[in-house]
Amino acid sequence: MKFLHLVFLNLRRKRTRTALTLGSFLVSLFLFGILMTIKTALGSGVDVAGADRLIVRNRVSLIQPLPFAYRERILQVPHVREATFASWFGGYYQDMKNFFPNFAIDVERYRLVYPEYKFSDEEWRAFVEDREGCVISPPLAKKFGWKIGDRIPLEATIWGGTWEFNVRAIYETDRKELTSPELWFHYDYLDERRAFFKGLVGWYIVKIDDPANAVEVAAAIDDRFENSPYESKTETEKAFAAGFANQIGNIRLLILSIGSVVFFTLLLVTGNTMASAVRERTGELAVLKTIGMNDTTVLFLVMAESIVVAAIGGGAGLALAKLFTLRGDPTGGMLPNFYLATRSLGLGFVLALAAGAAAGIIPAMGAMRLKIVDALRRV
């Protein structure tokens, strides 16, 4: 610690070089932060998926519907406790850029399958009793300044026309990943007014008695609808959410690839900087050894310089990424859970420090092995 000031003074010698190295860490960790945010946003459904819930959808694709009548047949499958359904609505408020997820739900049973969403009984009752009623999430209420009693017009991209809803409830949850901007309304309202797909639903959500029976139940449901006009594909909610996220591509591989390239580039840039710094200060390092500094301390002194750059640059990059994500979803609803998780921040900072340490280790070893006599001869 006594030599920490020397580390900072050394970094101030070549300010442009230090600024550029800091900048490379800043940009890299900012990019890392944004990528992790996107990954979190795309995978948020996976994180919140219940282990005891299955999703039943049309085998052809998610946009193909299933008959409303399937519910009763699903309930007959052993180990099934409850079944509810939902349908994608695809409406937007005033402008396409204001898009957010909205779908019609089975008002009677949706709450039974998703107990993690909390409502006051009064608000829920008001929603159930109003055919044009809707439930919104706190972020949506905040985004547009909506409150209970407001009437909201949505433009329907699939069904056409302007649909109006009354805000009757705002759910609460203590899980941040569940609070994306979204709106639910009555399936009956949708089915009554739409011109096609009547009597059909988007997908079923099935609650089972034990997650251990998931494979058995999924197979039983799909067997039941085999060779019908609406064959089904049943999978766990987690697998469904992951599959939904992967429609965009293999996000994990993408992030890993970009992260690896960034990490490798950082190693080269910082390693080169540190090697130059050590070369320039060969004589000074020799003097430090001459006055009694041992090889290990010299090693740590050089390593510390590299790690301090990584910590400052990387920390600033992550802080900027955090600030950027605080502004919310920049895509207008495509990435509702757009936030940089503390875990990702921690991971980014550890990676930055690791990059700093890895970049500094070779120059530091060189400094450690430096022979005083040889170094003094070069002065």
Q: Which residues bind other proteins (CB under 8 A)?
A: 2-3, 6, 9-10, 12-13, 283-284, 286-296, 372-373, 376, 379
- Least distance (Å) between residue 295 CB and other proteins: 6
- Both tokens assigned to 97: 């850029």
- Least distance (Å) between residue 40 CB and other proteins: 43
Q: Which is closer to other proteins, CB of 8 or CB of 264?
A: 8
Q: How far is Cα 133 from Cα 98, in angstroms, rounded to an integer?
A: 20
- Least distance (Å) between residue 13 CB and other proteins: 6
- Least distance (Å) between residue 279 CB and other proteins: 16
- Both tokens assigned to 101: 């997820």
Count CB neighbours of 369 within 10 A. 10
- Least distance (Å) between residue 7 CB and other proteins: 11
- Least distance (Å) between residue 298 CB and other proteins: 10
- Relative to beta strand 133-136, strand 162-170 is parallel
- Nearest Cα neighbor of 205 from 56, 311, 341 is 56
Residue 143, Cβ density class (10 Å: 0-12 exposed, 13-18 middle, ≥19 buried)? middle
- Least distance (Å) between residue 329 CB and other proteins: 47
- Least distance (Å) between residue 276 CB and other proteins: 16
- Both tokens assigned to 30: 């900012």
Q: Which is closer to other proteins, CB of 186 or CB of 289?
A: 289
Query: 291: helix, coil or strand?
Result: coil
Strand boundaries in the chain, DSSP class E: 53-58, 66-67, 80-88, 91-92, 102-105, 133-136, 151-156, 162-170, 183-186, 200-201, 203-208, 232-236
Q: Which is closer to other proteins, CB of 164 or CB of 295?
A: 295
Give how far Cα 153 sits from Cα of 91, 146, 165, Å: 9, 12, 6
In terms of phi and psi (left: phi > 0; alpha: psi -120 to 50; beta: otherwise), the region of 336 is: alpha
